[in-house]
């Protein structure tokens, strides 16, 4: 029996080759064009960056345990929070869901053999490694202290840290993001299986279409901004230096033109994951499919029109501020549409509280708080009081961690059986999901109060009256840290000792559950023809419900 026949012999054949066993040499991984292997390599690297960013976060929280600047001095503290931000944003949050789950799932979800441009996909991984490697090298040389925003003229004239090297790392890394987004757009346009119309696409795919638009349209602008910054730093030509006629506000405009949409790069894929989780674990067709799909596109479009709300107090015209404030309120609407539709989907659904669903429910609570506090900051009057306080820190952590990281963890847990073929411990999964939720709230809710009371961000020391809430926050960070480390342990454990998951452990109708776990290199034994709508749970889904149930009974 040759390898090709082995793939098509159906379920349970011992010799069945999947994408993990089809080639075991290092070369077969490093030169692969298989989107699934590339996704696994992203998973390993992104997790390493997440760990490093987390260690910086731990340092920050430990320093803030006491009012004085005693664990690290102020200069070091500047580097610590800068590097926490750079690693987490550019090397963890932005590639997390798109490059790992998106890469792995989009071709399978639309019924294709691979992404449209597999070589470009591999190149983007190498670019990510190159950019990440350069940045790590710069951090080992001594790091950077400008804040992740690189505001000029501090970054161009005054900072004595490794701005150039880190800037180069981020510049290079940006092209990884651009190429990934471009690949997704092309794939979703041209690679859909017969019958997989636009409105049968899973909402995860719609979210990734929207996020890809933002990646392709936004990232080049920050690339050119970093280039200008670098020339200004080396040659001092004066473009961002106000003392000789340059314009630092221009830097902020160019920077936030990318970096605000980048916030949506960080949250939109999470929303895609949550749409999948909520609908599937409620075993109910999602409420308002078209509204959720188009709200993703609306977020991508409006996300490009609100960057000025980062500059309310930095010298931007007051009339521009009013327009940006209004548009910021507008961009909240599509997010709210998603929240309402998810809630309506759960209503009268048959909800099962598996680990991924716990994460999804956690997401809804945390994202709600994160989103609503965003309206406080978008209100042009109130924001004068709140700018650069811990209120801002708490707000974006509620969205970035409470939103994207929680969704990422939910997604990893949900598709882990598909990616590895193994089931993790449900017990420990639930424990860790709840620890993350509790620990997260304990960490960041006190920061809303701290910020409202006026504690500024980015300082190593603070007045003594803020200490109690900071102790709460640091204690919460410890719980959160344990909650985040636990999956690393039990997921790795499941790789070696977990029970076989079966092809469709949750009895869900998506295309990814209609192939084997792990999938073969070509994704499907017989290329699918789609005759059902998204999120069909009954007979209309075309699934062999009886056979699937029996298989589940065997594997469970």
Partner 1 sequence: MSSHYSDKFVYHEPGLQHQFDDMGQQEESVSIGMWFFLVQEIMFFGGLFTAYLVFRSKYPMAFAAGSNHLDAFWGGLNTLVLIVSSLTMALTVYYAQKGNRNMQVILIVLTMIFGATFLGVKAIEYTDKYNHGLIPVAGLNKKVKAEAGAEHSAAEKPCWEVDHNAPPVEHPNPHGEFIWTDCSLAKMALDENILTASEKNQYLVRDENNKPVIDANKFRDKVRIFFFLYFVMTGLHALHMIVGLGLMTWLLWSAFKYKYNGDYYMPVEMSGLYWHFVDIVWIFLFPLLYLLGRHFIHGG
Counted residue by residue, the chain has a size of 556
Distance from C-alpha of 107 to C-alpha of 115, rounded to nearest angstrom: 6
Q: Rule CB under 8 A: is residue 247 a binding residue for partner 1?
A: yes
Beta carbon of residue 84, minimum distance to partner 1 (angstroms, whole number): 27
Interacting residues of 429 by C-beta distance below 8 A, sequence separation 6+ = 354, 355, 413, 487, 490
In b/e form, how buried is each residue of 333-344, taking b as 16+ CB within 10 angstroms? Answer: ebbebbbebbee
- Is 189 a binding residue for partner 1 by CB under 8 A? The answer is yes
User: Per CB under 8 A, which of residues 31..70 are in contact with partner 1?
Assistant: 33
Interacting residue with partner 1 among 43, 217, 399, 479 (CB under 8 A): 217
Report the C-alpha gap between 265 and 180 in whole angstroms. 12
220 binds partner 1 (CB under 8 A): yes
CA distance 506 to 413: 12
Of the candidates 191, 323, 372, 471, which one interacts with partner 1 according to CB under 8 A? 191
Q: Does 246 bind partner 1 (CB under 8 A)?
A: yes
Rank residues 112 and 163 by Cβ distance to partner 1 and give the closer one. Answer: 112
Q: Within 13 A of 272's CA, how many CA atoms are on the CB side?
A: 32
Measured CA to CA, the distance from residue 15 to residue 516 in angstroms comes to 13
Q: Interaction with partner 1 in 15-34: which residues (CB under 8 A)?
A: 33
- Measured in degrees and rounded to the nearest 5, phi and psi for residue 111 equal 75, 45
- Enumerate residues 6+ apart whose C-beta is below 8 A from 554: 502
Within a 10 A sphere around the Cβ of 217, how many other Cβ atoms? Answer: 18
For the bound state, the minimum distance from the C-beta of residue 115 to partner 1, rounded and expressed in Å, comes to: 7
Q: How far is the CB of 259 from partner 1 (least distance, A)?
A: 13
For partner 1, give the closer residue by CB, 211 or 221: 221
**CB of 456 vs partner 1, minimal distance in Å:** 30
How far is C-alpha 175 from the chain's CA centre? 17
The distance of closest approach from Cβ of residue 315 to partner 1 in the complex, given in angstroms and rounded to an integer, is 13
Q: Name the minimum Å distance from CB 221 to partner 1.
A: 5
Compute, in degrees rounded to 10, the torsion defined by CA atoms 362, 365, 368, 372.
-130
**Which residue, 237 or 488, is less far from partner 1 as judged by CB?**
237
- Told to check if 117 binds partner 1 by CB under 8 A, we report yes
Contact 363, 403 (CB under 8 A): yes
- Single out the residue of 118, 131, 308, 510 in contact with partner 1 (rule: CB under 8 A): 118
- Interface pattern 457-496 for partner 1 (x via CB under 8 A): ----------------------------------------
> Which CB atom, from 52 or from 188, has the smaller least distance to partner 1?
188
Minimum distance from CB of 544 to partner 1 (Å)?
19
Q: Find the part of the chain contacting partner 1 (CB under 8 A) among 158-166, 217-225, 428-436, 442-450.
A: 217-225
Which residues, 6 or more positions from 320, have their beta carbon under 8 angstroms from its beta carbon?
308
Determine if 556 is a binding residue for partner 1 (CB under 8 A): no
Question: Which 3 state secondary structure label does DSSP give 500?
Answer: strand
Q: Binding partner 1 by CB under 8 A: which of 21, 141, 157, 190?
A: 190
Q: How far is residue 311's CA from residue 247's CA, in Å, rounded to a whole number?
A: 14
Q: Examine residue 309 and tell whether it contacts partner 1 (CB under 8 A).
A: no
**In angstroms, what is the minimal distance from the CB of 31 to partner 1?**
14
| CA distance linking residue 176 with residue 174, whole number of Å | 5
Give the closest residue to 143 by CA, choosing from 82, 224, 225.
82
3-state secondary structure of 95: helix
H or E, element range at 422 = strand 422-423
**227 touches partner 1 by CB under 8 A:** yes
Separation between Cα atoms, residue 53 and residue 316, nearest integer Å: 32
Contact 44, 114 (CB under 8 A): no
Residue nearer to partner 1 on the CB measure, 117 or 164: 117
- Which residue among 16, 36, 208, 253 contacts partner 1 (CB under 8 A)? 253
Using CB under 8 A as the binding rule, whether residue 526 contacts partner 1 is answered as: yes
Q: Tell me: does residue 237 bind partner 1 (CB under 8 A).
A: yes
**Interface residues toward partner 1, by CB under 8 A:** 4, 7-8, 33, 112-118, 120, 178, 182-183, 185-187, 189-191, 193-194, 216-221, 223-225, 227-228, 231, 234-239, 244-247, 250, 253-254, 257, 522, 526-527, 529
């Amino acid at each position: 029996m040759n390898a090709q026949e082995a793939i098509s012999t159906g379920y349970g054949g011992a010799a069945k080759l999947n994408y993990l066993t089809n080639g075991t040499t290092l070369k077969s991984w490093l030169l692969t064009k298989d989107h699934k292997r590339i996704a696994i390599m992203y998973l390993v690297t992104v997790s390493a960056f997440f760990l490093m960013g987390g260690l910086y976060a731990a340092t920050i929280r430990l320093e803030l345990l006491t009012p004085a600047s005693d664990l690290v001095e102020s200069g070091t503290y500047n580097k610590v929070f800068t590097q926490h931000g750079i690693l987490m944003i550019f090397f963890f949050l932005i590639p997390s869901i798109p490059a790992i789950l998106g890469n792995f799932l989009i071709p399978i979800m639309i019924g294709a053999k691979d992404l449209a441009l597999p070589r470009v996909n591999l190149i983007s991984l190498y670019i990510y490694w190159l950019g990440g490697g350069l940045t790590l090298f710069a951090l080992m040389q001594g790091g950077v202290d400008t804040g992740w925003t690189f505001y000029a003229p501090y970054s161009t004239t005054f900072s004595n840290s490794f701005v150039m090297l880190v800037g180069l790392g981020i510049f290079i890394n940006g092209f990884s993001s651009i190429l990934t987004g471009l690949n997704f757009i092309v794939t979703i346009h041209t690679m859909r299986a017969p019958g997989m119309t636009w409105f049968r696409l899973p909402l995860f795919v719609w979210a990734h279409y929207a996020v890809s638009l933002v990646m392709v349209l936004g990232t080049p602008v920050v690339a050119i901004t970093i280039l200008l910054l670098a020339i200004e730093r080396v040659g001092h030509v004066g473009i961002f230096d106000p003392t000789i006629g340059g314009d630092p506000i221009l830097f902020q405009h160019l920077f936030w033109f990318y970096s605000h949409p980048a916030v949506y790069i960080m949250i939109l894929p999470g929303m895609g994951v949550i749409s999948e989780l909520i609908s599937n674990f409620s075993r109910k067709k999602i409420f308002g499919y078209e509204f959720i799909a188009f709200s993703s596109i609306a977020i991508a479009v409006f996300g490009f029109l609100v960057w000025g709300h980062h500059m309310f107090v930095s010298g931007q015209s007051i009339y521009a501020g009013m327009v940006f404030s209004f548009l910021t309120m507008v961009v909240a609407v599509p997010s709210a549409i998603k929240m309402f539709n998810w809630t309506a989907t759960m209503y009268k659904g048959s909800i099962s509280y598996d680990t991924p669903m716990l994460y999804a429910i956690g997401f809804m609570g945390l994202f709600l708080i994160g989103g609503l506090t965003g309206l406080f900051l978008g209100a042009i009057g109130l924001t004068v009081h709140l700018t650069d306080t811990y209120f801002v820190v708490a707000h974006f952590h509620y969205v970035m961690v409470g939103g994207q990281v929680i969704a990422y963890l939910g997604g990893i847990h949900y598709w882990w059986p598909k990616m590895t073929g193994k089931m993790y411990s449900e017990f420990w999964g639930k424990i860790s999901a709840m620890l993350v939720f509790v620990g997260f709230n304990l960490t960041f809710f006190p920061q809303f109060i701290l910020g409202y009371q006026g504690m500024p961000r980015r300082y190593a020391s603070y007045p003594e009256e803020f200490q109690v809430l900071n102790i709460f926050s640091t204690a919460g960070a410890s719980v959160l840290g344990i909650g985040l480390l636990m999956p690393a342990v039990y997921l790795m454990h499941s790789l070696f000792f977990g029970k076989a998951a079966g092809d469709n452990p949750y009895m869900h109708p998506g295309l990814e559950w209609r192939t084997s776990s792990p999938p073969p290199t070509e994704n499907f034994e017989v290329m699918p023809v789609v005759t059902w709508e998204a999120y069909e749970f009954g007979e209309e889904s075309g699934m062999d419900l009886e056979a699937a149930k029996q298989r589940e009974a065997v594997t469970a």
